[in-house]
Amino acid sequence: MNERREKAQILDAPGIARAVTRIAHEIVERNKGVEDVVLIGLRSRGVELAQRIAAKLTEIEKATVPVGTLDITLYRDDFGRAATQPMVRRTEIAFSIDDKKVVLVDDVLFTGRTTRAALDGLMDLGRPRVVQLAVLVDRGHRELPIRADYVGKNVPTSHQEAVQVFMAEEDGVDRVVIYEATDTPGERARVTRAATDATD
């Protein structure tokens, strides 16, 4: 089993709030307003982020921005291969995405495979005019040619680390942490070596 040791907190609640504010302003700037802009959140925390961004957009532009939820479980590329089979959740998009400027919202951008799955899912639902990607954290290690348009924070990580976003609505607190994975002997040795080296 993975024992995950918290390495560092990279964003606290005010930090997340500031990131949301800046992303919202950037969305307005890039799209010259919020006309025809819709936000679509991925998984659970992407949805909460999308709702916060939508609320901020309403504050800035005095207009409502529709928010939808996209579940990408049925579009994943690791079906039957992954060690765990994820729970299928609902897609709820109560409006047409045809000819809209869709901003996909996710918490962490890592390999890019989730975004690829989300694009496939979106295309099955309609024909957006343009699709942009907003993420709270970009941790690098892309495995596909995918990039975010709006980034809350860039965080360089190693592949063994894990980045976890906690949101108040679901987890009771707002924060982003990096975990080290310390379960394998090789990893433990590497961490110990790195710690020893650091003290020389």
Partner 1 sequence: MGWTRKDLLGVRELEAEEIGLVLDTATSMKEIASRDIKKVPTLRGKTVINLFYEPSTRTRTSFEIAGKWLSADVINISTSASSVVKGESLKDTGLTLQSMHPDVVVIRHPVPGAPHLLARLLKASIINAGDGAHEHPTQALLDLFTIRERRPTLTGLKAAIVGDILHSRVARSNIFAMQKMGMHVRVCGPPTLLPRYVESLGVEKSFQIEQAIADVDVIMMLRIQRERMGAGLFPTLREYSKLFGLNLDRMKLARPDVLIMHPGPINRGVEIAPEVADGPFSLILDQVENGLAIRMALLYLLTGGQGTNN
Q: Could you list the residues that contact partner 1 (CB under 8 A)? A: 71, 73-76, 79-92, 120-121, 124-126
- Smallest gap from Cβ 45 to partner 1, in A, equals 13
Judged by beta carbon, residue 57 or residue 108, the one nearer partner 1 is 108
CA distance 10 to 164: 10
Judged by beta carbon, residue 75 or residue 179, the one nearer partner 1 is 75
Phi, psi of 120 (to 5 degrees): -60, -45
- Smallest gap from Cβ 134 to partner 1, in A, equals 23
Residue with tokens 């360089």: 156
- Smallest gap from Cβ 136 to partner 1, in A, equals 19
Judged by beta carbon, residue 16 or residue 117, the one nearer partner 1 is 117
Identify residue 29 by its one-letter amino acid code.
E
Judged by beta carbon, residue 35 or residue 99, the one nearer partner 1 is 99
Helix, strand and coil percent figures for the chain, each rounded to 5: 35, 25, 40
Instruction: List helix spans (H) across the chain.
Output: 13-31, 45-61, 113-125, 168-171, 185-199
- Smallest gap from Cβ 143 to partner 1, in A, equals 19
